[in-house]
Amino acid sequence: MAEVTKLIHKYLRHEKKFPHVWCPGCGNGIVLGALIRAIDRTGFTKDEIVLVSGIGCSGRLSVYVDFNTLHTTHGRALTFATGVKLANPKLQVIVVMGDGDATAIGGNHFIHAARRNLNLTAIIINNNIYGMTGGQYSPTTPYGAISATSLYGNLEHAFSIAELAVTAGAAWVGRSTVYHATHLDQLMEQAIVKRGFAVVEVISHCHTLYGRKNKLGGPVEMMEWQKQVAVKIEKARTMTPEELEGKITIGVLTDRDLPIYTQELRRVREAARVALGEKSSQ
């Protein structure tokens, strides 16, 4: 049996939930593949993993895997995950969201989760559009781009999700694309084993809506574009802002050891117990 088939048999609910709902050529399948390969390498058992997802095309990802899964509402995946992690910190909680989920309706949760620094892994598939509802502009739709609600060009400016996560205080932030599948595998693995709030922004493509409306071609052309604009972060640091215009930096944007919320909570409890104990013994 081929290695990929073994993984499919091990991790995917291939006899129950397939065929999936994603369009042929969608990047979500690459993200799903990267995720199960990364989990396989980390050595976590299937039952140690909780995969939490929101609403949108990415929300279906949790349906297809044989982990503990929690399919939540639009934008709230991180809050459900926060509860899971606090109640049972032994669980390895991975949250999959889309750009709408994580940076529009759930944008507040995203920045606060980054700031709080629980040991969670957040994977954000950024396809620049609300795909499932028919291609309305999202917070990552580029300025001037065409969408179902911006027929003559988007007037708003896009978030840079990974940079937002860094600024909001995430312990680890990485970015890759669905074209760079091997690189994506590595980032996913690092994000899962990282202690603290780890974010992987995955640049993907919605050729069905975003690509078609903006005449960017099919999945092949859009992935070629990902290849062309991607610059490794190490190289990007040697480039001028002008040279970086229109480029997407990929790699690990930040990796820092920050106090983790659950550890901090234990520390405060210990300190309080000691203080109260000292008080009562006086």
Partner 1 sequence: MAKKTAAAKRVGMEVSIAVSYAVQLARAEAIAAYPITPQTHIVEHLSSLVANGELDAEFVNVESEHSAISTCIGMSAAGARTYTATSSQGLALMNEILYIVSAMRFPIVMTVANRALSAPLSIWNDHSDIMGARDIGWIQVFVENGQEAFDHSVMAFKIAENHEVLLPIIVNLDGFILSHVVEALEMVDQATVDKFLPPYVPLHRLDPRNPVTMGAFALPEIYTEVKMNHQVTLTKSYDHILKVWDEWGKLTGRQYHPVERYRTEDAKILLLIMGSLAEVAEIAVDEMRDQGLPVGLLKLRMWRPFPFKDLRDAVNGAELLIVCDRALSLGGVGGPVMSEVRSALYPMAQKPATLGYIIGLGGRDVNPGNIKDIVARAQQEASQGPQEEFHLYGVRG
Task: Tell me the CB-side half-sphere exposure of residue 13, using CA atoms within 13 A.
Answer: 14
Site string for partner 1, 179-208 (x = CB under 8 A): ------------------------------
The least distance separating partner 1 from the CB of residue 149, rounded to whole angstroms, comes to 4
The least distance separating partner 1 from the CB of residue 134, rounded to whole angstroms, comes to 5
Sheet holding 92-98, edge to edge: 68-71, 49-53, 92-98, 121-126, 198-203, 172-177, 248-255, 230-232
Using CA atoms, how far apart are residues 207 and 204, in angstroms rounded to an integer?
9
Instruction: Output the six-digit token pair for 243.
Output: 């040279």
144 close to 223: Cβ distance less than 8 angstroms: no
Query: Which residues from 135-154 bind partner 1, rule CB under 8 A?
Result: 136-137, 139, 148-152
For 42, counting Cβ atoms within 10 Å of its Cβ (0-12 exposed, 13-18 middle, 19+ buried), the class is middle
Cβ proximity to partner 1: between 68 and 73 the closer is 73
* Total residues at interface with partner 1 (CB under 8 A): 20
The least distance separating partner 1 from the CB of residue 147, rounded to whole angstroms, comes to 8
Cβ proximity to partner 1: between 99 and 185 the closer is 99
How far lies 125's CA from each of 29, 54, 112, 169, in Å?
Answer: 11, 12, 19, 20
The least distance separating partner 1 from the CB of residue 69, rounded to whole angstroms, comes to 13
Site string for partner 1, 55-94 (x = CB under 8 A): x---------------x-xxx-------------------
Instruction: Output the six-digit token pair for 57.
Output: 């095309």
Measuring CA to CA, which residue among 119, 103, 121 is closest to residue 111?
103
Using CA atoms, how far apart are residues 275 and 124, in angstroms rounded to an integer?
42
Cβ proximity to partner 1: between 152 and 240 the closer is 152
Report the residue from 11, 80, 130, 172 that binds partner 1 according to the rule CB under 8 A: 130
Query: Which residues from 89-128 bind partner 1, rule CB under 8 A?
Result: 104-105, 107
The least distance separating partner 1 from the CB of residue 133, rounded to whole angstroms, comes to 4
The least distance separating partner 1 from the CB of residue 139, rounded to whole angstroms, comes to 7
127 close to 139: Cβ distance less than 8 angstroms: no
Cβ proximity to partner 1: between 55 and 95 the closer is 55
* Sign for the pseudo-dihedral over CA of 2, 94, 169, 119: negative
Decide if residue 132 touches partner 1 (CB under 8 A).
Answer: yes
Residues that bind partner 1 (CB under 8 A): 55, 71, 73-75, 104-105, 107, 130, 132-134, 136-137, 139, 148-152
